[in-house]
Structure 1
Amino acid sequence: MADDEIDYNIVFPDAATSERHWQGTKEPVVVLLGWAGCKDKHLSKYSSIYNEQGCVTVRYTAPLKAVFVSESFGFKELSGTAQKLLDVLYDYEVENSPVFFHVFSNGGFMLYRYAVELLRDSERFRQLRVVGAVLDSGPGGANVRGAVRALAATLGPRVHPALWCVLAALFAATVFVLRVVLYPVTKYVHRHHYDAMRDGPPRWPQLFLYSRADRVIRHTDVEDMTAALSAKGLPVESEDFGSSAHVSHFREFPARYTQRCRDFLVSCVAGGEEAEGRGRRQRRNVQTQ
């Protein structure tokens, strides 16, 4: 389903499936943020993991221009997109349900970064109850070679080889100048998403799924991020799939991937309910004093 501004898809589970898994409690809403160039038919395979678990799912993939052009040049185009996505939860009246993110590569991570900032800084969105997030094949730091490989994988054989060489050279030069050479200055205008989320991470649990065989996102970037979050005392888990390529862990290890995501979702929802219960008890105690 789509509205006039952003092209997203939302799927509601049947009542019987929802009741079987969540037994009268509000079913979670899982927001899936696709990788750059991701087709919805591919993202829908991931959403089925959660639909079969009785969850509502919202699928969205940012436009290529926003990921590779606007954000690379420091225009925060995806900040407004993140706000519209969070508005969808209110449009369908599921804002009181537990919210869970499933984020893919840097294309999805850019959107996730802005959503995290809105959930922290906006009085309206601060009311949403996010319980956790899965991050697949990301995030990656400033990596020119990986960025070019991501662009190559996205464009594929559709671009003539000669034109591709020109585009790759221009893109690599832009990324190198803005994100490496000038970054000590440009970071005050537009911080790299990796740095912003390392220094201002969310408080909810996060599961990082990655692979040492990934040629787009360096495994060391993911491991450095998890180490930084652990050092801050934040709940973080990770799993190295070892041999699978970029955003291919589900394709290579479907059963293992599915079970890992579902188990993490269930634990996050349970943890969120416990925290909410403690909050209600504390508020009652304050009111009776």
Structure 2
Amino acid sequence: MYPILGDTVSQCSKSFTPVVLLTAGKHHSVASTEAKPDIINKNLSFRWAYDSPYEQQSRPLILIYSWLVAKARHMHKYGDFYLKKGWDVLHVKVDPLQLMLPSSAQRVVGQVLEFTQDDKRLKQPILVHGFSVGGYLWGETLVKILSDESLIANLRHRIHGQIMDSPVSFHGIPFGVSQAVTDVRLLQNIVEGTISSYLSLTKNITMKYYVRSQETFEENVMHTPSMFLFSKADVIGRHRVIEECIEKMKRKGIAVYSKCWEDSRHVSHFQRHPVEYIDMMTYFLQRIKFLDVPDEGKIQMTG
């Protein structure tokens, strides 16, 4: 499974620089949270904190890995939390077909890493916030980082923490995709069965990559501090699988924090428990000493 926590606090192949340069001047009449994002491609969109008090090289870059078929307005609520702190936000997403084709997902994470290696971003501290299958994408990102010594050298000290909301193990992918693409029960059953059969028939060219991604995330060889937000009521990102991941990280001496709710559904924890959710995010940022996060966790996410 991907991210889930422990220590329980209980409770592209082309340069992206031109995109920022061409759009930088058009936003200054509104706050960065109100400006339209820069669409890099169908998988990546960038929200630049141009009204930040921090210099570009020193302000954080937040990598938000979306859940499947998430609407931009929903993901931007989370991005706003970081933009209001003066931090840049890169939104990352894949569609169901890309999720089923690991080589496609791997190209997307390659684009993410290319973005982080732009000359203007080489020193930006990084925080990761992943949702559902975003955990798989982050695992693929880690696989690529660990296969390249230059990426390891640059990123091992830039990645300060990872927050995982409702992470899904590879076993949960068929059910999770079926729930994301339709609300019709009969169609959900058909989609789930079709994907399960596909993964079984192609296990040598698909499943091994899901397993590798999950294992790489759980190993957490860079000992990245982690926060897991999940629920006992989540039938997609199952809490017992997440708890096992948390315990595995804790045994390695990794700083892990978590919050498990009783009633919130998959990726609905902020919607159901907004105050606690923001408090947990702020608590984690304070614990990992991520810049000057204020003591009060009341920077609001609207909606």
Report the TM-score range of the alignment, normalised by the length of the smaller protein.
0.7 to 0.9
Alignment partners' CA distance in 1, 2:209 and 2:110: 20
Q: Residues 29 and 169 (structure 1 numbering): CA distance in 2 closer, same or farther, change over 3 Å?
A: same
Q: Tell me which residue corresponds to 2:109.
A: 82
Within the alignment, does 1:15 sit opposite 2:52 as a pair?
yes
Alignment partners' CA distance in 1, 2:213 and 2:76: 26
Q: Report if the CA contact (8 A) 1:31-1:102 is conserved.
A: yes
1:46 is displaced (CA, Å) by 0.6
TM-score by length of 2: 0.73
Q: Which has the higher contact order (CA 8 A, sep 6+)?
A: 2
Q: Residues 92 and 104 (structure 1 numbering): CA distance in 2 closer, same or farther, change over 3 Å?
A: farther
Within the alignment, does 1:169 sit opposite 2:193 as a pair?
yes
Q: Report if the CA contact (8 A) 2:57-2:121 is conserved.
A: no
What is the SS of the residue equivalent to 1:142?
helix
Kindly provide the amino acid, as one letter, of the partner of residue 134 in structure 1.
I
Q: Tell me which residue corresponds to 1:113.
A: 139
After TM superposition, the structure 1 = structure 2 runs for residues 1-289 of structure 1, keeping only pairs within 5 Å, are: 1-3=38-40, 6-16=43-53, 18=54, 26-67=58-99, 69-70=100-101, 75-91=102-118, 93-105=120-132, 107-126=133-152, 127-128=154-155, 129-143=158-172, 147-157=173-183, 165-175=189-199, 177=200, 191-199=211-219, 201-270=221-290
Q: Report if the CA contact (8 A) 1:178-1:186 is conserved.
A: no
Alignment partners' CA distance in 2, 1:25 and 1:89: 11
What is the SS of the residue equivalent to 1:132?
strand
Q: Report if the CA contact (8 A) 1:27-1:97 is conserved.
A: yes
Q: Residues 178 and 253 (structure 1 numbering): CA distance in 2 closer, same or farther, change over 3 Å?
A: farther
RMSD: 2.9
Q: How many residues align?
A: 251
Q: Deviations over 1:211-241 (max 9, x none)?
A: 1111111100100000011111222111112
Larger mean Cα displacement after TM superposition, 186-195 or 126-135: 186-195
Alignment partners' CA distance in 2, 1:119 and 1:36: 23
Q: Residues 163 and 138 (structure 1 numbering): CA distance in 2 closer, same or farther, change over 3 Å?
A: closer
What is the SS of the residue equivalent to 2:267?
coil
Q: Residues 52 and 151 (structure 1 numbering): CA distance in 2 closer, same or farther, change over 3 Å?
A: same
What is the SS of the residue equivalent to 2:142?
helix
Q: Residues 178 and 247 (structure 1 numbering): CA distance in 2 closer, same or farther, change over 3 Å?
A: farther
Q: Deviations over 1:85-136 (max 9, x none)?
A: 121123471220110000001x201210121123333233220211011000
Q: Report if the CA contact (8 A) 1:10-1:57 is conserved.
A: yes
Q: Deviations over 1:225-279 (max 9, x none)?
A: 00011111222111112211100011111121112112312432459xxxxxxxx
Whose helix proportion is higher, 1 or 2?
1
Alignment partners' CA distance in 1, 2:259 and 2:126: 22
Alignment partners' CA distance in 1, 2:57 and 2:282: 17
Q: Residues 40 and 92 (structure 1 numbering): CA distance in 2 closer, same or farther, change over 3 Å?
A: farther
1:13 is displaced (CA, Å) by 4.7
Q: Deviations over 1:11-53 (max 9, x none)?
A: 315134x59xxxx992211110001111211110111111112
Q: Deviations over 1:143-194 (max 9, x none)?
A: 4xxx34422331124x7x765553332123334x369xx68x9866763532
What is the SS of the residue equivalent to 2:138?
helix
Percent sequence identity is: 20
Alignment partners' CA distance in 2, 1:85 and 1:29: 11
Q: Larger Cα Rg: Structure 1 or Structure 2?
A: 1
Structure 2: unaligned runs, 5 residues or longer: 1-37, 292-303
Alignment partners' CA distance in 1, 2:39 and 2:224: 29
Alignment partners' CA distance in 1, 2:39 and 2:266: 28
